[in-house]
Structure 1
Amino acid sequence: MQRPDWAPETIDIERPSVARMYDYYLGGSHNFAADRAAAQAMVAAVPDAPLMAQANRAFLRRAVQFLTDAGVRQFLDIGSGIPTVGNVHEIAQRGAPESRVVYVDVDPVAVAHSREILAGNDRAAVVQEDLRHPERILAHPDVRRLLDFDQPVAVMIVAVLHFISDDDRPGRILRTLREALAPGSYLVLSQASDDGRTEEERAEAERVYRRTDNPLWVRNRAELTAFFDGFALVEPGVVWVPEWRPDSPESAEDAERAVFMGGVGRLGG
């Protein structure tokens, strides 16, 4: 296919990207034919896939609003993806204009579009880096320029951990991030769960994502809860994402269809 002007020359537009598939689920336009084909295969295997992405995005919005109301003014969003309406900086800076946000993503399309959107916003930045290298994220000049780790920071890792295998030692990654945070900081996590899914659904979803550079690694509620080691879970704990402080009781109905589980933890002190 022809390469659009906005696509960096360094990316393989014939290989699906999880960030661009997620963009497709959310109704975005920054995706290629290969991404759409893979996303459509995922929808064929798991018809609720677009709902999953939308429910997860709504969870992010509610979590950021909760954090802003709690007085947090610094956000590190790792695996932020391709910008869509309702980014962290839009939500946080609407209620607290002094909020500072750093986005981190490994996908060059996500980074390029984030830079376009953030042009002229001196309280937000984006860096290209991988969650698997938390030390490099923490040491990045733009992270250090905008965020003061002597003050509370909210680390957002939303819809990312299911692309981090056990071999990548996600517990170590999260411990490295936790040790850099001041008391009063928060951790926001969500990821795809296999709780309540059939073995056939799980196998088909994993098959689709093996076509990308980020195979799927689903986990259950207990495994996700363990990632909050060192943090006190905020009520209602780790739940299906529509159940986390829903806007209305109706919006939490059939919550398990969202497939994603998530939670928010606070670092004591």
Structure 2
Amino acid sequence: MNSNKKDKLFQWIAGIVLTLGGIMFVLPFIWMILSSFKTESEVILIPPTLWPQGFTFENYKNLFENMNFAVYLKNTLIIVLFSFFGMFLNAMAGFGFAKYNFKGKDGIFFMVLATMMIPSQVTMIPVYLILNKLNLTNTMLGIVLPGLVGAFGIFLFRQFMTTIPDEIIEATRLDGASEFRTFVQIILPVSKPILAVQAILAFIGGWNSFLWPLIMANDEKLYTLSVGLSLLKSQYGGNFALQMAGATFMVMPIIIIFIIFQKNIIENYTTSGLK
């Protein structure tokens, strides 16, 4: 058997193995989504059915009428919006470290990077005590404030903005533009690749926020979707159809965003990494 036939045979085998692996990976998600439209009696059928015998939206109706998922969704969207605002602050900090010279810049930047080595679980108790002294526990501000800025985001923005030519910035300054205007009108448009990556990561992080809102919020009115889903599992552990609806509602936005922007995620992450 010559090398060309061996290569084709290997490609066919690899394709079949990857296809089967992909089907096995996607099948649980498909079953979860379809089960969210089933009745509870159909979900527990043995053998299980893949396609619903009769589509019903009763599970999703129960989520919003009996489980306060509308409140959880509102809180989650607020956290996502604050995450986008935090991304803007990260970009400003990255720009400062990339293009400004000030005393102790390198030392401060290394201190920022050092925080990446500390697990977030270690700082939760000190941060909670500080916010408690400020009377910010059980408030939305206390939930979103600690996550506004992060060392990883500052690092990525700083690394990308270092590659922007200084001549562009100097030209805008000579034209009389303020530093903030230079940042908004020149730096941010040039930084679209890293902004796209950070925006997607900010959305995913805000949408999946669970542990910190669970610690900070004593009132159910401040719970997020992740906390609400955990509450759903504890209160309706025997209602599998309702749990499938909650999980589908939680996961689908992230899947949709990844499907739409997967090319941009890979290309922009590669671009920002190379720069």
TM-score calculated relative to the size of structure 1: 0.25
Larger proportion of strand = 1
**Greater relative contact order, per chain length (Cα 8 Å cut-off, separation 6+):** 2
Greater Cα radius of gyration, structure 1 or 2: 2
Q: Using structure 2 for the length normalisation, give the TM-score.
A: 0.25
